[in-house]
Structure 1
Amino acid sequence: MTMSKWFLKSPSDDAEYRLFCFPYSGCGASMFLKWPSRLGAVEVLPLQLPGRENRMREPHYGTYEELAADVVDGIAGYLDRPYGVFGHCGGALPAFETVLRIQELGLRPPERCFVSSQVAPQDGPHGRFLGLSEDGLRAELSGLFGELGSAEPPAEMVDMFLEVMTADLEANRRYVKPAAGRAPCPLTVVGWEHDHEVPHELMGGWARWAEADKVVLPGTHYTFLGAPAELMERLRSGLVGG
């Protein structure tokens, strides 16, 4: 199978399970650079979305529905074994919409969908970022770069990410849908004890879509970036069991 533009590296043929990871608003697949490539039998596969990093020349995806349709077209050939999807905050909703698209097309559903720091679709849009000015978003991006290990990013880099984040946040604003159906797989709803962006108490609406296990882990909104052991084990066991 030829290399897909949706991945930074080709999925392995010998992986027993796959975990497709959607990046956070404004970011690309490299935001998962601190994550391991394997969680036991599970291969971790960050997705590269259009309009960022090595796909920065491509236009923005527009809406989560349009993105989900394109993602499924791109990864359909890799749904040949048990898999899951993961998204945090601005990555959770397109991850979930992709699961619904997979269901609509009658393709093999995931074993589990992991949604972190995000309210259910019928309860949004929600988030402080949605109301920030351009200067406010610049400040947040600088903080995010710090979390990723780049204390003082060049201004041109911040400008580039700002354009992508602005378009991503607009997609978030436009994504509102009632809990009128059922997802084709169970959910693991991940909250964070000290997350002031999306308090875990607001995440109960996911249970209207599917059987939902909720877990609250120690940490803040950005703790997931560092691949905390508790999260990694939840992802592994949620797919493999045991």
Structure 2
Amino acid sequence: MRLICLPHAGGTASFFRSWAGAFGGGVEVLSARYPGRQDRIAEPCLESMAALADAVVEGLRPFLDRPLALFGHSMGASVAYEVALRLEDQYGVRPQGLYVSSRAAPHRVAPSSVHLQGDEAIIEHVRGLGGSDTAVLDDPDLRELVMPAIRSDFRIVGTYRAPSPIPVRCPIFAYVGDRDPNVGTADMEAWSEVAAGGFALRVLPGDHFYLVPQQGDLIRDLESRMASS
């Protein structure tokens, strides 16, 4: 099976680097590298959820020969949901599981104006969420490089909502930290309303980036669920 990982707003594919060898031999981990960062830094950033999900699906076309599951953290959870819908609709591919982390269900996402308030407001919001990749914001040169992608991602986050959500046919498994400042268990439980194939929620200790200190427990849970799907 392939596990496709979708990063958070401002995140990069390397966020999931340590996952590559963490599963058994039966799971291949791939991480999406969005335009405008790392070795795609010269490419223009995408400005809408539809454009980003379409790009991910196009990138996945060579990898549809094996069963796959999708894991998305924060913004990546919304991307994963939209990708699952497109895979089902365009290719008849039903993921074996949609794993969503620290992001409200598509019809519960609240509009945000952070992307309209300038770089300092965005940076303050990013710091408030925590995460290991905030260190790059302390270096003016690195900040200059990463801010275009962060701005675009927060525009996507702030403008995305699915007022009439479409259920996915695969099971949805939701994860959230018990001290997440922005996403609560009710937000995650609402994913059950778009889970035609079943739903389960697990709450782990930690904040919005609980999956860093709790990586071991999370991966064991993911591996168990993928093995039984």
Q: TM-score, normalised by structure 2?
A: 0.87
The equivalences for 1:1-242 within 5 A come to 17-40=1-24, 41-125=26-110, 133-141=118-126, 147-148=132-133, 150=135, 153-210=138-195, 211-226=198-213, 228-241=215-228
How far did residue 28 of structure 1 move? 1.3
How far did residue 112 of structure 1 move? 0.2
Percent of residue pairs identical = 29
* Matched residue count: 226
Q: Secondary structure at the match of 1:103?
A: helix
User: Matched residues in 1 for 2:182 and 2:28: separation?
Assistant: 29
Which deviates more, 60-69 or 107-116? Answer: 60-69
Conservation of the 8 A alpha-carbon contact between 1:19 and 1:45: yes
Unaligned runs of 5+ in 2: none
Q: Name the amino acid aligned to 2:65.
A: D
Conservation of the 8 A alpha-carbon contact between 1:142 and 1:158: no
How far did residue 94 of structure 1 move? 0.8
User: Matched residues in 1 for 2:139 and 2:32: separation?
Assistant: 25
User: Matched residues in 1 for 2:55 and 2:118: separation?
Assistant: 30
Conservation of the 8 A alpha-carbon contact between 1:224 and 1:231: yes
Match in the other structure for 1:3: none
Q: Secondary structure at the match of 2:155?
A: helix
Q: Secondary structure at the match of 2:211?
A: helix
How far did residue 125 of structure 1 move? 2.9
How far did residue 132 of structure 1 move? 6.0
Which deviates more, 168-177 or 86-95? Answer: 168-177
- The Cα RMSD (Å) is 2.5
Conservation of the 8 A alpha-carbon contact between 2:137 and 2:143: no
Taking a change above 3 Å as real, the CA distance of residues 199 and 142 of structure 1, as seen in their structure-2 partners, is: closer
Which deviates more, 18-27 or 100-109? Answer: 100-109
User: Matched residues in 2 for 1:146 and 1:196: separation?
Assistant: 13
Which deviates more, 198-207 or 82-91? Answer: 198-207
